[in-house]
Amino acid sequence: MAIIVQKYGGSSVADTEKIMAVARRIVHTVQQGHQVVAVVSAQGKTTDSLIAQARAISAHPPKREMDMLLATGEQVSIALLAMAINSLGQPVISLTGAQGGIMTDTQHTKARIRVVDGARINQELEKGQVVIVAGFQGVTSTNDITTLGRGGSDTTAVAVAAALGAEVCEIYTDVDGVYSADPRIVPEARKIGEVDYSEMLELASLGAMILQPRAVEVAAIYGVPIHVRSSFSENLGTTIKEVNVVEREIAVTGVASDENCAKITLVGIPNDVNVLYHIFSSLAVESINVDMIVQAGTTKNITDLTFTVTQEELEPTLNTIAKVQGEQDWQVICDENVAKVSIVGAGMMTNPGVAAGMFEALNNENIPVFVVSTSEIKVSCLVPRPDYQRAVRACHRKFGLDSAK
């Protein structure tokens, strides 16, 4: 009898009717002969409302107490879902993160799972019960409640699946899988049946709303297959697993895009790695994530440096740069009117000329490229924001993704 871990997000348990639908799906899975562990998030906007309550009391509440507060959100969900499943006649038990053996480090509000002690979950499964585990939360070795931060419930589900040796970790969401491009931009985008862990990570901008990168990383380490599928249908979704690259015929799996970019160019900085070090370490201290970095190759003493950050981080970035710059004679140019378009595919490694194909597609559309960066399975181009949707469509067409599989 295989163990299946199912994860249901906050929108899937937002009200009584939706909770009953999830309960029926779980019971249906049991009736098909599986043991089911369900990992559940807080209902709908519960977490936001709890955060608002905390902010009304203190601008900087202690993180341990935030976790104490936020953890109640999932505790409500698991209890209600257990009641719903019980009302269908199926034995069931709910477990908090602590009870479910989700052991974390002590970084409150962004704890990382150290180990999942599956003893209690296994014991309850052996009694023939469905086990409902609170996502997003865990407990430290001193019995203090932690939360895992953004994407925590996905990570809980994958970690539990790994600990139990589950056959699959199903992530139920409001979309029916991962698409070759954002269907709002490319109506011809198609659902990807299978995708490699590394591709999924690179497709983050397509998949982030569906599946958190942290969860994909854990799944890759433990080899847990993830099946992203819709809460509202029985259709198969997208399976994320280790895909044998040698067999790949398709060079490009999908086209990702990200509007949330700002480009910063430092003109006339010293051509000195020490300067680079100072700039990027100062940004790291401020917890600013730098995405693309390009330095024009030159033999001169003076060079230009371009990099991108999210728009929210533009202002703190400029402040930090100003401090590093001090009295030095640089020019700082920034451009918020840009977007990033990426082609992703594990098959790219064995298919030469993929980057060239992308440039050709953009060139045919007269779309300029400001910055290029590449990895083994991805080519990203920074383009003018007004052009980026056209760029996505051009790339999608160019690599044959429009055609039915």
Nearer CB in complex with a second copy: 146/308 = 146
The type of residue at 350 is T
Give the C-alpha separation, 24 to 211, whole Å: 23
In the DSSP assignment, the letter for residue 241 is E
Phi, then psi, of 353 in degrees rounded to 5 = 80, 10
CB of 335 to a second copy, least distance (A): 41
Residue 49 or 363 having the CB closest to a second copy: 49
Least separation in angstroms between residue 5's CB and a second copy is: 20
User: What span, in angstroms and rounded, lies between the C-alpha atoms of 161 and 156?
Assistant: 8
- Indicate the residue among 19 and 211 with the shorter CB distance to a second copy: 19
- Using a 10 angstrom Cβ sphere, with 0-12 exposed, 13-18 middle and 19 or more buried, the burial of residue 185 is middle
From the CB of 69, what's the least distance to a second copy, in Å? 4
Q: What is the DSSP string of 7-42?
A: EE-GGGGSSHHHHHHHHHHHHHHHHTT-EEEEEE--
Q: Among residues 88 and 208, whose Cβ is nearest to a second copy? A: 88
Q: How far is the CB of 58 from a second copy (least distance, A)?
A: 4
Question: Which residues contribute to the site for a second copy (CB under 8 A)?
Answer: 16, 19-20, 50, 53-54, 56-58, 61-62, 64-66, 68-69, 71-72, 75-76, 78-80, 82-84, 86-87, 93-94, 96, 98-99, 120, 143-145
Least distance to a second copy, CB of residue 135, Å: 15
Calpha distance 45→55 (Å, rounded): 16
Which CB, 137 or 257, lies closer to a second copy? 137
Using CA atoms, how far apart are residues 228 and 27, in angstroms rounded to an integer?
Answer: 19
- Distance of closest approach, residue 92 Cβ to a second copy, in angstroms: 8
**Which residue number, 56 or 404, has a Cβ lying nearer to a second copy?**
56
